[in-house]
Structure 1
């Protein structure tokens, strides 16, 4: 399928927070309760519509183990958006957010859109991190924030589409350089065709 833009996403966070499950729920609308630990990176993609434009999200799900951290870092470059995920039932995953965010900002474009995601909110009875703590961390670091459940699909679609919407708004405002790969946005054939048609119309109406 042709698309106007392709946005590259990366999902980061500690091992076992539900990164792969979030990706599977978003792309396939299903939940896999037993999931092998990601080795290196996994990949998924989905088409979304925004203001009548077709946008392809290319999503890289990274391993959370320390032994794969160097591989994960190589995927920050050229990412337009990142989901920074923690598990609301495991405080240590929340405590490690600052380290993940430091890596993301060191190795990615300064214009990368980051959404903080508190996953597994269906396990309210096991909660160790309050929603207010997540909101406070997001405010302090200039991030968007949502709590999700990969199991019930709560806020999963909204998390990805909100990040995509923010990237799309940056494009409309001219804040992203679309000529290189570093920003994580690729202009598709559809957008190029529209621009060419607009240029031709401008030329025809310009002159005599």
Structure 2
């Protein structure tokens, strides 16, 4: 069973790093801007099921409606990534999620606050209060909650 998953969010939030950590168990400090879309593939197994994820790492934009709809169409799941250290990447989070849900109403959405390793628990709590939406804190650098995020989304797509 093949499922298309898109990673979206502002530039520099760590979408590519999350994919690299998930697919290749690697992390690099080098910042490489994604141009257009980069596609990776990984087979996941959970609860007796096997699923091939086709992961579309889409170039970062401040507004999701400025990203080509053609990249998003046909997606079975969405991972929206923001940077817990940069408020500008989550200020309009609810609007961005609403837009994605209107475009892909049947696709489950997983919201990830990346770069958890760069802030304290107290700072993370204030981010949680500011956002008002459920999200999971991840670190592409340490791998914290990365595998689980993709597995949780896979379960939701099943």
Which residue does the alignment assign to 2:152? 162
CA distance in 2, matches of 1:49, 1:40: 29
Conserved? CA contact 1:88–1:129, under 8 Å = no
CA root-mean-square deviation? 2.3
Conserved? CA contact 1:89–1:129, under 8 Å = no
Conserved? CA contact 1:63–1:69, under 8 Å = no
Structure 2: tracts of 5 or more residues without a match: none
Matches within 5 A, 1:65-104: 65=61, 70-104=66-100
Which residue does the alignment assign to 2:11? 15
Name the SS of the counterpart of 1:42 in structure 2. Answer: strand
Structure 1: tracts of 5 or more residues without a match: 139-144, 169-208
CA distance in 1, matches of 2:125, 2:28: 24
Conserved? CA contact 1:91–1:129, under 8 Å = no
Which residue does the alignment assign to 2:138? 148
Conserved? CA contact 1:118–1:148, under 8 Å = yes
* TM-score normalised by structure 2 residue count: 0.88
Cα deviation for residue 70 of structure 1 reads 4.5
Say if 2:106 is the partner of 1:111.
yes
CA separation of 1:53/1:117 partners in 2, compared to 1, >3 Å: closer, same or farther? Answer: same
* TM-score normalised by structure 1 residue count: 0.68
Which residue does the alignment assign to 1:29? 25
Superposed CA offset, 1:57-101 (max 9, x none): 110011113599544422221111111111000001011323422
Conserved? CA contact 1:81–1:112, under 8 Å = yes
Give the structure with the larger helix fraction: 1
Matched positions, count: 157
Which residue does the alignment assign to 1:188? none
CA distance in 2, matches of 1:124, 1:60: 28
Bigger Rg over Cα: 1
